[in-house]
């Protein structure tokens, strides 16, 4: 979310000023396909709004972001740190702990007793008490924080690793030996004035974390993914997000101006094997999702950086959408776009954002966040004809001005859909539909959506 080069070091504050208090963004409400009043909730007939937990305490006025899951726990990132929820009873989630540790959008993953938190806001040091510091200062710090969450009620900060240009997002790739975990760190926004974030920054950082000794975590590789190869592709100044499919030795990267496929059979030496561009309709390649057979990839376009009203008739059905590609061998073959057709008010930021597969064998089903466009459940089994099969959404935060909000991430986990709303908090949804019902048979011990698992069941 958002181009970091304009907000480095003051990202959360800049977002609040630009999108909440800024005088230039007031808009007259346009017709909405759902015609909802402010904060009114609507769902399709097959979706139930099961539970809601509003943000509390130091997190009440901060932005919620991405999520990870382990057992009966949900870990939700936030511009102020992260929150742990007990979801053993999905109808009544309980807050277990809130860890105050500011540092940008706080992309989050979990692995065993460890939680990893991205820091993409220049800080005075690596502590949770740090303050914002300009990235022009050589002493500024950003990168990856590591916590021990073996006691989820009392997480402990155990390590920090600085990375080039910080960590906007990261992807967890477990080593095959079970003793290490690698973190693919994606970041961007280089400038000549930033000592630790120099152009062209056409690389990712790979952190090696010894599971039994996380204090020894360190950057062990910085592979260049965008060196000029004679094929017309030049450096793209970084990736926004990478989704790995470790059991298939493959990854897909959404790298601002490029969609890429990586061979990760040697995880410390990822190799680009395919690149595509869409100069007609894609503005900012944001994230990627494989289908279960790794024969398709859904790329998202975060048109407007997540802060603009793009789900309307004027923008149309192809921009700010998903692009579905069939993966044939190592070649990506474009099939179609998918975008919610429920037009939103011009006061609602809305564009394709984070989602996950719904595990049903023989079907390609996905749940996805669309900011103030809500949560969409859709079917791309027919790559050329994707269809929405369910939705949840709220009316606009305001009927007179654009205020940043809506679902940042919406993921399916062990029978329910969980949504992290930027301003409203944590939502639990239940879908009851013949297409998605078989997914209830799939029970997972852990889910980091950008590390896709091989599902068992879902028949």
CATH number at residue 84: 2.130.10.10
pLDDT at residue 229, as a whole number: 54
Return contacts of 289-292, CB within 8 angstroms, 24+ apart.
289/243, 289/252, 289/355, 289/356, 289/357, 289/366, 289/452, 290/243, 290/245, 290/248, 290/250, 290/252, 290/327, 290/452, 291/357, 291/364, 291/380, 292/357, 292/359, 292/361, 292/364, 292/454, 292/455
454 lies in some domain: no
453 lies in some domain: no
pLDDT at residue 268, as a whole number: 97
396 lies in some domain: yes
17 lies in some domain: yes
Overall average pLDDT of the 300-316 stretch: 96
Gap between the Cα atoms of 340 and 342, Å rounded: 6
pLDDT at residue 234, as a whole number: 56
Q: At 26, is the pLDDT very low, low, confident or very high (cuts 50, 70, 90)?
A: very low
CB hemisphere CA count around 237 (13 angstroms): 15
- Contacts of residue 329, defined as CB under 8 A and 6 or more positions apart, other chains included, come to none
pLDDT at residue 96, as a whole number: 98
Overall average pLDDT of the 12-22 stretch: 33
69 lies in some domain: yes
How many domains, in total, are found in the chain?
1
In which domain, by residue range, is 252 found?
Answer: 4-447
Closest by Cα among 174, 376, 398, 379 to 267: 174
> Over the stretch 180-226, which tens digit does the pLDDT of each residue have?
999 999 999 999 999 999 998 989 999 999 999 999 999 999 999 98
Overall average pLDDT of the 334-350 stretch: 96
Q: Evaluate if residue 28 carries a pLDDT over 60.
A: no
Q: What is the mean pLDDT of the chain?
A: 91
Overall average pLDDT of the 166-192 stretch: 96
Residue 347 Cα distances to 60, 62, 180, angstroms: 22, 20, 46
pLDDT at residue 18, as a whole number: 32
452 lies in some domain: no
Q: At 8, is the pLDDT very low, low, confident or very high (cuts 50, 70, 90)?
A: very low
459 lies in some domain: no
pLDDT at residue 433, as a whole number: 98
Q: At 128, is the pLDDT very low, low, confident or very high (cuts 50, 70, 90)?
A: very high
Residue 275 Cα distances to 161, 189, 278, 325, 393, angstroms: 30, 21, 11, 12, 34
290 lies in some domain: yes
Q: Evaluate if residue 366 carries a pLDDT over 60.
A: yes
Secondary element (H or E) of residue 186: strand 180-186
Instruction: Copy the structure tokens of residue 412.
Output: 């399916």
Q: Evaluate if residue 114 carries a pLDDT over 50.
A: yes
Lowest mean pLDDT among 17-21, 349-353, 368-372, 449-453: 17-21
pTM: 0.93
Q: Where are the alpha helices (DSSP H) in 181-242?
A: none
């Amino acid at each position: 979310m958002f181009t970091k080069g304009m907000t480095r070091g003051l990202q959360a504050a800049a977002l609040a000023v630009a999108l909440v208090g800024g005088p230039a963004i007031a808009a007259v409400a346009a017709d909405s396909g759902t015609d909802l009043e402010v904060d009114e909730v609507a769902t399709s007939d097959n979706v139930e709004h099961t539970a809601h937990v509003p943000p509390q305490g130091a997190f009440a006025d901060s932005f919620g972001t991405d999520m990870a899951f382990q057992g009966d726990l949900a870990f939700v990132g936030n511009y102020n740190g992260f929150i742990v929820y007990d979801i053993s009873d999905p109808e009544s989630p309980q807050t277990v702990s809130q860890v105050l540790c500011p540092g940008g959008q706080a992309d989050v993953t979990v692995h065993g007793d460890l939680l990893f938190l991205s820091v993409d806001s220049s800080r005075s040091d690596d502590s949770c008490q740090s303050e914002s510091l300009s990235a022009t200062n050589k002493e500024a710090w950003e990168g990856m924080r590591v916590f021990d969450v073996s006691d989820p009620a009392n997480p402990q900060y155990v390590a920090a690793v600085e990375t080039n240009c910080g960590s906007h997002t990261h992807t967890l790739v477990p080593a095959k030996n079970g003793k290490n975990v690698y973190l693919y760190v994606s970041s961007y926004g280089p400038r000549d004035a930033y000592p630790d974030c120099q152009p062209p920054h056409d690389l990712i950082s790979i952190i090696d974390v010894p599971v039994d000794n996380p204090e020894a975590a360190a950057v062990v590789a910085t592979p260049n993914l965008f060196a000029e190869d004679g094929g017309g592709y030049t450096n793209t100044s970084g990736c926004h997000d990478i989704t790995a499919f470790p059991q298939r030795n493959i990854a897909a990267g959404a790298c601002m101006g490029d969609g890429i496929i990586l061979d990760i059979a040697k995880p410390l030496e990822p190799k680009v094997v395919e690149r595509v561009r869409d100069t007609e309709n894609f503005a900012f390649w944001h994230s990627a999702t494989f289908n279960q057979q790794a024969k398709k990839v859904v790329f998202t376009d975060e048109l407007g950086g997540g802060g603009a009203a793009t789900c309307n008739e004027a923008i149309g059905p192809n921009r700010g959408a998903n692009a579905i590609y069939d993966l044939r061998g190592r070649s990506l073959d474009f099939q179609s776009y998918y975008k919610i057709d429920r037009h939103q008010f011009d006061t609602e930021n809305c564009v394709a954002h984070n989602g996950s597969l719904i595990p049903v064998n023989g079907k390609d089903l996905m749940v996805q966040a669309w900011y103030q466009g809500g949560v969409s459940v859709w079917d791309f089994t027919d790559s050329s004809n994707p269809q929405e099969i369910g939705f949840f959404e709220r009316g606009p935060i305001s009927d007179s001005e654009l205020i940043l909000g809506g679902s940042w991430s919406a993921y399916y986990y062990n029978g329910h859909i969980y949504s992290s709303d930027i301003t409203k908090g944590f939502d639990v949804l239940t879908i009851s539909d013949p297409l998605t019902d078989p997914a209830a048979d799939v029970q997972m011990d852990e889910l980091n959506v950008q590390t896709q698992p091989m599902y068992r069941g879902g028949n």
